[in-house]
Amino acid sequence: MTMRNLQITLVYFMLVTFHIIFAGTPGIKLKPTGTSEGFSDPLIIEVMVGRQVELPCDIRRPTGDDSVSLILWYKSDINAPIFTVDSRHGPLEKAEHFSSDTLGLRASFNLVVDPAILTIDPVKETDNGEYRCRVDYRWARTIHRVIDLKVIVPVKEILIVNQRNQSLSGIIGPYSEGSELSLVCYAVGVTIEEEREV
């Protein structure tokens, strides 16, 4: 084999190797960077402030010989668990339940229903956010259930003002036909004060 043939063969081998490494092997699905194993798609739940809300978490065993050892609830803006069910030293039915200061006596976890439910009653405006239920099994991989809780806060006051920023109520006017009228409506009491020009 000549030197030129050897160079061509090496280049061909490198191209084929490069294609196999970066194109992937047939039958094997490449997983994009950033995909997290064991995470569910977020479930969106809306609730009015002051009401009760139920956050579901599927804790069913993946196999008959497996069991739940630990259930941890997290909230997006808090590092430590906000609710814990610890069954590492006994059956799940007799597991200890711990509620953090964030939820306190407002929270309870029902293991009897399917799916299990974390109840928060009453809901506060600060409860708004993303919740994650982490379930650790004795043998199977950890599963995460994600819930996006949207707390609806009703408007406390509607305020209408004119172009001179004077508050208006009841019947306004009279105004001459064809004259320009500019009113601004403020919704007071929502998370971000909204205004709309009429």
Whole-angstrom distance, CA of residue 141 vs CA of residue 68: 11
Condensed to tens digits (0 to 9), the pLDDT of residues 9-62 reads 433 344 333 333 333 333 333 333 333 455 667 899 999 999 999 999 999 988
Identify the band that residue 63 occupies on the pLDDT scale cut at 50, 70 and 90.
Answer: confident
Q: What are phi and psi of 106, to 5 degrees?
A: -75, -15
Domains of the chain: 43-152 (2.60.40.10), 157-197 (no CATH)
Q: What pLDDT score does 26 carry?
A: 38
Condensed to tens digits (0 to 9), the pLDDT of residues 85-105 reads 999 999 999 999 999 999 999
Q: What is the mean pLDDT of the chain?
A: 79
